[in-house]
Amino acid sequence: MAQGPLLGIRILEFSGIGPGPFAGMILSDLGADVLRIDRPGNDRGTKTHVTRRGRRSVALDLKEPGAVDACLRLMATADAVFEGFRPGVMERLGLGPDEALARNPALVYGRMTGWGQDGPLAQAAGHDINYIAISGALHAIGLPEQPIPPLNLVGDFGGGAMYLLVGLLAGLLHARRTGVGQVIDAAMSDGAASLMAMFYGLKAGGTWVDDRGANTIDGGAPYYGTYRCRDGRWVALGSIEPQFFAELLKRLGIDDLAPDRQHDRAAWPMIRARFEAAFLQRTQTEWSALLEGSDACFAAVLSLDDAPRHPHNVARETFVTIDGVTQPAPAPRFSRTPGDVQHFDPAIGAHNVSGLRDWGFTDDDIAALRTVGAL
């Protein structure tokens, strides 16, 4: 059953991949009624498609005029709509912002792409790694000799989905206040650049070197990084503040190193070697028993298998297991209107009748769509 701060908000999602489904998942987790327009197909849905959870599916053949008319009718009663096609696709279908806003002037129309709606690369294919490459983010992440892709967290989900969500929610607030909708141009390359704001500021201030592995929080500093343990597993340190670094030295038993050498870059290779040797003396579990929960800013590097079993995650119910599938619980937390997982990823077209009915279509309307091959 739907619950959360977005209960009563109707959002139309045009099915896509990656960050689009992730944005739809969060909106659904927070209580919105998200109706997903899928292409006709044989996908029966699966409980392991975690980012596709929580929505209902209506399968419409957008090559059919009747399907386009149905989508415009759905937009007329929606609070927001979002799509992730290349620029111009929705316009060619007759479902662009001009047509949608003509039907519903208060509609918030979200558009998520890699490169944005305009610019020299707007029509080029790409993926997360390409979008973060031109933002400066990929250059800053990795080993000195090679950039390393940070999964697709920075471009797709951070720079794309999260900025789309911010745009949609801000647009909804504006529309509620003014009755006027607008178009949200959420480009992953823009979002990734925005995420780099602090680092561009540090560079301008002369405290960030434009090289990988040469700064405090990019793996260059020995007190901010990962170390291998005796059992081959890893631990993570974030002992940036002087008092935390001092606590780390104390717990590692390194009492012949002055804490004030923490920011002596010439000493960093020596400090790193000392830390490497120290952490190889114990297993990850032993280090966790000694350091976890202390002000040394320590955590074990956990696998996807181990993370849901960590006591902190268990206590906070950070993960939930639904029908045997362990997955992240809705986030963030709300004190009065907590979110929830509404249901699994449905089969394509599973809600052709119930979904359209709930959005104002009659049985005759639905039958007409079937007759012309639109549904």
**Catalytic center residues:** 127, 156
Two tokens at 72? 């415009």
Helix (H) or strand (E) holding 59: strand 56-59
Give the β-pairing of 298-300 and 234-238: antiparallel
CA distance 10 to 60: 18
Q: Collapse the DSSP code of 12 into the 3-class scheme (helix H, G, I; strand E, B; otherwise coil) and give the result.
A: strand
Give residue for tokens 């405290």.
207
Question: Are the C-beta atoms of 36 and 55 separated by less than 8 Å?
Answer: yes
Order of strands across the sheet that contains 234-238: 224-228, 234-238, 298-300
Residue type, 19: P
Give residue for tokens 């704001």.
197
Question: Are the C-beta atoms of 227 and 279 separated by less than 8 Å?
Answer: yes
CB-based burial of residue 89 (10 Å sphere; 0-12 exposed, 13-18 middle, 19+ buried)? middle
DSSP string across 208-242? --SSTT-STTTT-STTEEEEE-TTS-EEEEE--SH
Contacts of 270 (CB under 8 A, 6+ apart): none
CA distance 105 to 80: 11
Two tokens at 282? 């114990």
CA distance 350 to 38: 10
Instruction: Give first-to-last CA distance, the chain, whole Å.
Output: 26
